[in-house]
Amino acid sequence: MIYLLTTSTDCDHCTATCAKEFFYQQDCQAYMDQRLEWAEGPTYFEYITRREYEEFYPTVRDGILEAFEDGHAHCVYG
Supply the pLDDT for residue 67: 84
CA pair distance 11, 7, nearest whole angstrom: 14
Query: What would the pLDDT profile of 42-60 be if each residue is shown by its tens digit?
Result: 999 999 999 999 999 999 9
| Of residues 69 and 27, more confidently modeled | 27
Neighbours of 53 (CB within 10 A): 16
Supply the pLDDT for residue 73: 66
Global pTM?
0.84
Neighbours of 23 (CB within 10 A): 9
Coil, strand or helix at 12 = coil
Supply the pLDDT for residue 78: 55
What average pLDDT does the chain have? 92
Region 6-21: what's the mean pLDDT?
A: 95
Amino acid at 31: Y
Question: What are the residue boundaries of the structural domains of the chain, listed by start?
Answer: 2-69
Q: What percent of the chain has pLDDT over 70?
A: 96
Instruction: State the DSSP string of 13-52.
Output: SEEEEEEEEESSHHHHHHHHHHHHHT-SS-EEEEEE-HHH
Per DSSP, 7 falls in state: E
